[in-house]
């Protein structure tokens, strides 16, 4: 039976001009890869709720684990106290990540996980007697979060945070070193500024909110090698790419790269509860040890290592162990390659890109995002284009038929746009 949603009088919505934007839809239930709306319609989710619901919605194993934890200890402060769900999760993450990435600092969101990584990188050099090394190099089209420190690491011109340019730290930006000229320019930047650079941050293989831009494992390997040769810390922002999305458990694995610090969130709990982690290598952690209390990392979110969220993350890792998630990603990749290919022939399409369970169609010309989004809903799918990109990042459990529904909708809507009906 349709449910009448309450009014929006007291909400402030994200990334939304509320004076002109269409009213949001009201979700009342989720299951598998589907979102049920208050008016009774169901939508196939093509973006896994901002890339989090890798196992689909309401997976029984995660739900049962969280329910059990809720009965014993929903939350306890993580200062002077620890608990089994966090201890077990940290151990498992350290075992999954490459090399000696073994010290896990828990937070509640991806932006804060990056903030912690920046604080780690800068204090690493402070503790080593080089406080001038505080700048962090990022790349064009990058996106690393919505807080002030992370906004400074987003593309200053094309990024969503250009409005705040005058209020942000001026951090050096490089082009991704995808050819010899750009490799030389990147190396020159590191050489010229090495004495003041704390680290380099990169979204490995796929730049997410900056436009689903994709680069090769060779490019990532070059970045890592250039940092290692100069003793510069490498921070891998795997918030979007981590946990299977690009075809490996972590995108860095494809390039054989061992970052000094890794940021994780989004699919960490399978889209169940808010949780993030910043994981550092042994040599980074050891610089924070000593008799002086000021050498310690001074950060501590109130809800860090929340037991419910850690339990959900442990249950999510169980599913990666017991279910063929990476094989499912490989099958999704094959299907996306095949079924998004017709978009390449459409007027107004600049490029089609696929990596793992990510399919992106970049558009040319003006884009009416509201019209596209509304049309997708009319076709029974939840697809949210942004900028000039229509993309799919479905849950890994999606069936071939459900994925075909999504890709067919993308092709149809872009055909309509090419015919100037959208």
Catalytic residues: 15, 143, 237, 266
Cβ(360)–Cβ(390) under 8 Å?
yes
Cβ(357)–Cβ(334) under 8 Å?
no
Token pair of 329 as six digits? 């990603």
Name the residue with tokens 């009014």: 7
Alpha-carbon span 422 to 420, nearest angstrom: 5
Alpha-carbon span 144 to 155, nearest angstrom: 10
How many Cα neighbours within 13 Å face the side chain of 394? 32
Torsional sign, CA 331, 94, 258, 151: positive
Alpha-carbon span 315 to 320, nearest angstrom: 9
Kindly report the CA angle at 256 between 238 and 358, in degrees rounded to 5?
45
Neighbours of 13 (CB within 10 A): 11
Closest CA to 352 of 381, 383, 402, 392: 392
Name 268's Cβ contacts closer than 8 Å, sequence gap at least 6: 242, 243, 275, 276, 277, 313, 316
Closest CA to 422 of 403, 407, 409, 404: 409
Instruction: Please name every residue paired with 35 in a beta bridge, in sequence order, or none if there are none.
Output: 30, 43
């Amino acid at each position: 039976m349709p449910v009448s949603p309450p009014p929006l009088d007291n909400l402030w919505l994200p990334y939304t001009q509320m004076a002109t934007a269409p009213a949001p839809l009201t979700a009342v239930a989720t299951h598998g890869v589907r979102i049920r709306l208050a008016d009774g319609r169901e939508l196939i989710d093509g973006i896994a709720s901002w890339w989090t619901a890798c196992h689909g919605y309401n997976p029984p194993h995660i739900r049962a684990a969280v329910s059990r934890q809720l009965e014993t200890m929903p939350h306890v402060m993580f200062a002077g106290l620890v608990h089994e769900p966090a201890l077990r999760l940290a151990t498992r993450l350290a075992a999954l990540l490459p090399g000696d990435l073994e010290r896990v600092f828990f937070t509640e969101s991806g932006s804060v996980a990056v903030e912690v990584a920046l604080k780690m990188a800068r204090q690493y050099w402070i503790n080593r007697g080089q406080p001038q090394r505080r700048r962090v190099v990022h790349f064009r089209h990058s996106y690393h979060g919505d807080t002030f420190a992370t906004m400074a690491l987003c593309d200053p011109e094309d990024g969503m945070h250009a409005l705040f340019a005058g209020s942000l730290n001026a951090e050096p930006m490089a082009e991704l070193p995808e050819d010899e000229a750009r490799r030389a320019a990147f190396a020159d930047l590191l050489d010229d500024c090495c004495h003041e650079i704390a680290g380099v941050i990169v979204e490995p293989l796929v730049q997410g909110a900056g436009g689903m831009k994709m680069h090769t494992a060779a490019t990532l390997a070059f970045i890592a090698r250039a940092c290692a040769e100069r003793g510069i810390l490498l921070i891998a922002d795997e918030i979007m790419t981590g946990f299977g999305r690009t075809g490996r458990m972590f995108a860095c694995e494809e390039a054989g790269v061992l970052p000094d610090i890794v940021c994780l969130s989004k699919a960490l709990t399978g889209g169940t509860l808010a949780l993030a982690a910043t994981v550092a290598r042994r040599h980074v952690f050891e610089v924070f040890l000593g008799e002086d209390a000021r050498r310690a990392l001074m950060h501590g979110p109130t809800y860090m290592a929340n037991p419910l969220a850690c339990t959900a993350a442990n249950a999510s890792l169980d599913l990666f162990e017991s279910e063929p998630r990476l094989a499912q990603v490989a099958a999704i990749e094959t299907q996306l390659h095949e079924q998004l290919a017709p978009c390449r022939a459409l007027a107004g399409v600049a490029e089609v890109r696929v990596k793992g369970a990510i399919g992106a169609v970049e558009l040319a010309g003006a884009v009416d995002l509201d019209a596209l989004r509304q049309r997708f809903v009319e076709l029974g799918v939840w697809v949210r284009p942004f900028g000039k990109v229509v993309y799919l990042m479905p849950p890994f459990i999606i069936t071939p038929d459900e994925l075909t529904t999504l890709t067919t909708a993308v092709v149809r809507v872009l055909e309509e746009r090419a015919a100037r009906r959208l």
